[in-house]
Structure 1
């Protein structure tokens, strides 16, 4: 499922227009001896900045912004060149409460956005039929969160 999601999110972002260069998937950052992995990393040629995409399989939670903000800082400190603009972050979640997202983003100085994705609607028909339903997954996990 992750591979399919990454494939289709990547295609979607590339379809947004010219300028996005795919840097990598699960890009490793070493910060103070600890390893962290960015889900997707792009470079936007016209904006001259990196774009970090973090994927969340569930509902938006304010703490996700802390993780994304950390990744933006790490990329700015370790990856971007002096002439590059500050890194932009995009958090893609399965669902979000708009008010919670607005509150969480209100005092954020970093350029971060939160959006929802629709996995099933973006997958090919053959893959859609091979995936379990959300009800099946939740029943196997004991009712979800």
Structure 2
């Protein structure tokens, strides 16, 4: 008797999906439990607000009573975190089932509501794992996007309230490539960097941002008998265009810009379909002169972008220096 073999695959998929749903349900219930514990602690603390140090005493007392029976999840530090969880997300119905408790722990470490809104939206839209969310927070994704865009635009794109109208709204500068595992003091050929990117393609696509898919590596172009090779070709479904990337391990030159411009022109005239938008070219370089880039290109053009890459995550001191520099550059800041 003939049996359709697809039934096995279908049943396996049902079992796998059910297991995933069960895990998510259990984790969400755990998250709700922590929220309710935090709410109860906060309410009790408010009743004793006239007594100095009552909150600290309460947390310590609760831990002593609960930890012997329920374990390290009820240490003073964890109980304080549950309280902070309730204070940060005071409405239980607004908690997202797509986020695990481990996601929320990372979100609690963020300093502003705007940061939390952005990373929540990006995590849900892109189905980020906890590791991916942690990496994006550590690489200052939100701050890097804000360097070239206004806050409301960044948040609106993350929440899918608007589509990006300019490549600079989603292309980061700098790009952080610490996941490639390359030592920053060593010198590299462009083919070495390209090879590492292909090996870590999933992580690279995550760093590139929303809507990117890989198309080709060392794409051969035939132009009047001459052959040229484009390092990397991607497609972005949000921008609805090809994105060509050239890797330069030296300081950017105007010849590099001219070469990329030729590739962009070729894709616009040969590969692009009528309904698609103009091709974007990204020069990923070790170093660049922004003024040289500016004067090498027509004024107001939006198709060529130079983005510097870094092979390591910035230190805490470097982050503070960058933030202070940005604050100093704000209009009206004379300090």
TM (norm. structure 2) is 0.33
Distance 1:35 1:10 in 2: 29
Q: Greater strand percent: which structure?
A: 1
Equivalent residues in 2 for 1:31-42 (5 A)?
Answer: 31-42=223-234
CA spacing shift, 1:98–1:42, aligned 2, 3 Å? same
Q: 1:63: how far off?
A: 1.3
Task: Give 3-state SS (helix, strand or coil) of 2:295's partner.
Answer: helix
Deviation at 1:35, TM superposition (A): 1.2
Does 2:206 correspond to 1:14?
yes
Gaps of 5+ in 1: 123-145
What residue is the counterpart of 1:57 in the other structure?
249
Deviation string 1:19-70 (CA, Å, 9 cap, x unpaired) is: 1110011011111121111101001112110000011110010111110000
Aligned length: 121
Gaps of 5+ in 2: 1-191, 314-335
Bigger Rg, structure 1 or 2:
2
Give the distance between the partners of 1:117 and 1:18, measured in 2 at CA: 18
The one of 80, 105, 109 aligned to 2:272: 80
In 1, distance between residues paired with 2:285 and 2:201? 12
Match of 2:258 in 1: 66
Q: CA shift at 1:10, angstroms?
A: 6.7
CA distance in 1 between counterparts of 2:266 and 2:231 reads: 14
Comparing both chains, which one has the higher relative contact order based on Cα–Cα distances under 8 Å and sequence gaps of 6 or more? 1
In the alignment, the residues of structure 2 paired with residue 80 and residue 70 of structure 1 have an alpha-carbon distance, to the nearest angstrom, of: 14
Name which of structure 1's ranges 102-111 and 23-32 shifts more when overlaid on structure 2: 102-111
Paired with 1:57 and 1:41, the residues of 2 have a C-alpha distance of 18
* 2:235 match: 43
Q: CA RMSD in A?
A: 2.2
Measured in 2, the distance between the counterparts of 1:95 and 1:15 equals 19
1:69–1:110: 8 Å Cα contact kept in structure 2? no
Distance in 2, matches of 1:7 and 1:108, equals: 36
